[in-house]
Amino acid sequence: MKAIISGYGRMGHMIEAELNRQGLTLVAASEDICSTDPDIAKDCVCIDFTTPDAFRANYRTIARLFKAAVVGTTGWDDIRQEVCAAFAAEGKTLIWASNFSLGVNALFAAVARVCDVLKDQGYTPAISETHHIHKLDAPSGTALSLGRLVEQRLGVKPEIQAFREGEVPGIHTLTLESRLDRLSLTHEAFSREGLAAGAVLAAKMTDRVSGVHEFGELLLGTL
């Protein structure tokens, strides 16, 4: 597998380190992914961790040029259908996620089961998330995904609170409270390395899967 990183910020550097750790080939890291030579791009997986605006501007070109894409950029949920359709029309593989951390995806699976158990039992859900002050979106894409999952499985839309503090990599907590008790489920990232490891795992998956997929569905099966 050969990869080209779109967006060479903090996450781009961590993905580069993870690719090197696994002995995989990094062809390039680019802040202008649309200028990639098509003859090179056609054999590479594009790993995109940019900004919502950049991805919105670039996704059609990524779908056209690259053999596959892994997208960890968030903030484009309103155009998800258009993005998925663009990759499907080109016959290219897309794996996307609001969070590529294996631990977060395990949290999603646990939350789905807990909500199934507590549905219609008088529990009120609430979500809080805390990230570093450099994060552009609030609430985080992970918190929004968690909220959609809770609403789908519990039948109640949770309130989401977002906090920005220092250099916190990411903390997500779901609280379910009734008149009888309170249940809390929390994932705390120690660094962004977990996101990089998951993104590289997804890139490796593109060698054996085709089509458009959410990472958690591939990792754990449909929730």
Those residues with Cβ within 8 angstroms of residue 10's Cβ, 6 or more apart along the chain or in another chain: 192
13 assigned to active site:
no
Number of residues assigned to the chain: 223
CA distances from 99 to 81, 196, 197, 204 (A): 19, 10, 11, 17
With CA atoms as reference, report the closest residue to 139 among 95, 170, 183: 170
CA distance 32 to 28: 11
Does residue 8 contact residue 30 with C-beta atoms inside 8 Å?
yes
Those residues with Cβ within 8 angstroms of residue 121's Cβ, 6 or more apart along the chain or in another chain: 178
135 assigned to active site:
yes
Paired residues of 46 in beta bridges? 4, 69
Bond into 52 cis (ω within 30):
no
Of 2, 67, 132, 135, the active-site residue reads 135
CA distance 56 to 72: 13
Q: Which two tokens stand for residue 149?
A: 């999952």
Of 92, 131, 172, 187, the active-site residue reads 131
Residues with catalytic roles: 131, 135
